[in-house]
């Protein structure tokens, strides 16, 4: 089957790699940069993101979005949240409603605070949609480490298509029905990863990391419930699973940003030297504003927001968290 991947960055290239594990798949990869297209088609590699990993001759890269979409009944959208609406608007001219579209974006639209699945419905005729999210550090997947993800959709056809296309001896795909919860979990865990990176950058270790992950999961769950998600989703791969992976590994770009902030670099310096997008930075700003509208108390999110806005240092934010009013833990789980 022809399968399209829209976006050739780090995660898009990793999705391509996963799809090549099934010898029945032929992958059409849309990339904006003609030089990257030429490199992939001539060397079967995307060296900036996949290193020496061979993407096989069953991958064809193209700058022609229409060509990719019209040939592929199954599509994976793997672009940044900031560019998602424009790319989907362009895709809308070529989608005919029969395709399955699975997005792999862990963030919101930061001007409207809308989820990506909402934008898909607004900009395209596609209704057979899904969202892919989970504890998926790209480098570990490229190294062949056993991993798993979640594909959420109200349509069994979407989940089955993803499982058929992606499952391999080193990669499992679990189905889920809670699109809202999987989208919210994938976005908000990046905020907690920023906080965890700051904790590591300050020299704190497992006790502090455990505190941030546990209390961070509470914030994610409460926010998700306000958005219409199921609480149980946050105890699975898309929630706690992704939280553990992203908050405990220096492979996580959000962890790296938090760590460097705690070590004294400015946000502008950090982002200016990164070749990868840190979705946690704009997501923090969006979620903090949304939490105010929801009248939700999200102290970790608020602390990270204040650090990004230069009104607190990471050490001041930690001190503020540790001096909050004493509570009973079960109050948050009732």
Q: What amino acid positions are annotated as catalytic residues? A: 189
Phi, psi angles (nearest 5°) of residue 322:
-80, -10
3-state DSSP helix/strand/coil % of the chain, to nearest 5: 55, 15, 35
- Write the burial class of residue 57 (CB in 10 Å: 0-12 exposed, 13-18 middle, 19+ buried): exposed
Name residues whose C-beta falls within 8 Å of residue 155's C-beta, 6 or more positions apart in sequence.
Answer: 128, 130
Q: Tell me the Cα Rg of the chain.
A: 20
Q: Kind of pairing, strands 129-133 and 74-77?
A: unpaired
For 185, the enclosing helix (H) or strand (E) is helix 179-201
**188, 178, 13, 224: which is closest to 108 by C-alpha?**
188
- 30: β partners: 6, 62
* Count of C-beta atoms within a 10 Å radius of residue 171: 18
For 133, the enclosing helix (H) or strand (E) is strand 129-133
Q: How far is CA 246 from CA 55, 99, 111, 217, 255, in A?
A: 25, 31, 25, 13, 7
| Structure-block tokens of residue 25 | 């798949």
**202, 305, 306, 222: which is closest to 263 by C-alpha?**
202
How far is 196 from 177, CA to CA, in rounded Å? 29
Phi, psi angles (nearest 5°) of residue 6:
-100, 100
């Amino acid at each position: 089957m022809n399968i399209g991947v829209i976006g050739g960055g780090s995660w898009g290239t990793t999705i391509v790699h996963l799809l090549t594990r099934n010898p029945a798949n032929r992958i059409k990869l849309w990339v904006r940069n003609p030089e990257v297209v030429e490199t992939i088609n001539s060397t079967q590699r995307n060296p900036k993101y996949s290193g020496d990993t061979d993407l096989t001759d069953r991958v064809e890269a193209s700058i022609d979005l229409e060509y990719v979409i019209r040939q592929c009944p199954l599509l994976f959208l793997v672009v940044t949240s900031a560019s998602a609406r424009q790319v989907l608007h362009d895709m809308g001219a070529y989608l005919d409603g029969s395709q399955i579209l699975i997005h792999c974006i862990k963030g919101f639209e930061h001007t409207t605070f809308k989820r990506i699945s909402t934008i898909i419905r607004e900009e395209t005729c596609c209704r057979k949609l899904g969202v892919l999210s989970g504890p998926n550090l790209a480098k570990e997947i490229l190294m062949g480490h056993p991993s798993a993800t979640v594909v959420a959709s109200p349509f069994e056809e979407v989940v089955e298509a993803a499982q058929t296309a992606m499952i391999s001896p080193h990669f499992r795909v679990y189905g889920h029905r809670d699109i809202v919860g999987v989208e919210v979990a994938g976005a908000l865990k990046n905020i907690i990863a920023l906080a965890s990176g700051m904790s590591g950058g300050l020299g704190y270790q497992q006790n502090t990391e455990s505190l941030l992950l546990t209390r961070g999961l509470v914030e994610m769950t409460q926010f998700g419930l306000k958005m219409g998600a199921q609480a149980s989703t946050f105890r699975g791969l898309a929630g706690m699973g992704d939280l553990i992976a992203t908050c405990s590994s220096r492979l996580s770009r959000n962890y790296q940003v938090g760590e460097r902030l705690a070590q004294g670099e400015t946000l502008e310096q950090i982002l200016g030297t990164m070749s990868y997008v840190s979705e946690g930075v704009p997501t923090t700003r969006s979620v903090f504003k949304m939490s105010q509208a929801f009248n939700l108390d999200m102290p970790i999110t608020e602390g990270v927001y204040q650090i990004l806005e230069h009104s607190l240092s990471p050490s001041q934010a930690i001190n503020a968290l540790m001096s909050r009013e004493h509570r009973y833990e079960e109050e948050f789980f009732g």
